[in-house]
Copies of this chain bind each other. A is one copy, B any other.
Amino acid sequence: MRIVDTPEAMQLLSRSWRHDEQLVGFVPTMGALHDGHLSLARAAREQCDRFVASIFVNPLQFEAREDLEKYERPFDRDCRLLREAGCDAVFAPSVEAMYGARTTGSARPARTFVEVEGLGGVLEGKTRPGHFRGVATIVTKLFSIVGPRRAYFGEKDYQQLKVIEQMVRDLFLDVEIVPCPTVREEDGLALSTRNTRLTQDERKAAAVLSRALHEGVALTRGGERNAARLIESMRALCEAQPLVDVQYVAVVDSETLAPITELDDRPVRALVAASVGDTHLIDNMAL
């Protein structure tokens, strides 16, 4: 497995693979890998000739500087896990390489941004302004550099997945987005890098997010068609946990993320976001 730290070297490597008609798969990550990431890696390994993972903690998608600074960066462990997963190359560039000398006051910082209006402005986009602009911008850059035929994204970050899908469609990017199911702990908690920040009590309480979503699924299967009532039930479950501070519970169209009033035959998704202690957690399920 190669470790590549400049966009130029990555572009050369990937170009040589494409030249040899190797199908290139791509798993973008911010490192601090868990089984969720590794399930993406396994899919890429199975479905592609070559597979690149990127490790890049993207400053542009963090709202608070503090959150960015406390983001884990266990680089050697991540590389070991990716090697074991059969990864061909890890792309791990510096912030300076990806954004010019933006932070160091150079005369030529990167100033090009990709914005997905609509999808990028609701739910997480409302609580974290600029977040999806940061995501869309870095993913565009990574796609240009890695030039994958397929890219793997987890459904855990459902809105991110939809933002990326829309961006790829709108900009005609020549890459297939492959969604992969959320990986969960035994008690249902969706895997997330942020879970390690939870205290023992918070960790226990956090399982209520997936329990609430399962409740939404059960109620829907039981015939409930009214979104407000579904939201109320899910929210009530979460709010019964004193350590959980709900940001939103939403029932939306699976593609447009527009709020639903009455469920009909269209695919519908329930999404929940909450602070558990100081930690921001999100989860979602198809209803």
Contact = CB atoms under 8 A, between A and B. Distances in A.
A187 interface: no
A174 B144 contact: yes
A37 to B, nearest CB: 23
- Which residue, A114, A140, A172, has most C-beta atoms of chain B within 10 A? A172
A11 B173 CA distance: 10
A171 interface: yes
Interface string A93-110: 000000010000001101
A167 interface: yes
A206 interface: no
Interface string A80-120: 00000000000000000000100000011011111111110
- Which residue, A111, A118, A169, has most C-beta atoms of chain B within 10 A? A111
Given A171-B141, A172-B11, A174-B147, A116 B107 contact: no
B174 A11 contact: yes
Interface in A164-195: 166-167, 169-174
Contacts of A100: 170
A209 interface: no
B115 A113 contact: yes
A136 interface: yes
Contacts of A174: 11, 15, 144, 147
A141 B173 CA distance: 8
Given A112-B166, A112-B167, A256-B107, A172 B117 contact: no
Given A113-B115, A144-B172, 16 more contacts: A11-B174, A108-B255, A110-B169, A111-B118, A111-B166, A111-B170, A112-B115, A112-B116, A112-B117, A140-B171, A141-B171, A141-B172, A144-B173, A144-B174, A145-B172, A147-B174
21 contacts: A11-B172, A15-B174, A107-B256, A108-B256, A110-B169, A111-B116, A111-B117, A111-B118, A111-B170, A112-B166, A112-B170, A113-B114, A113-B115, A113-B117, A114-B115, A140-B171, A141-B170, A141-B172, A144-B171, A144-B173, A145-B172
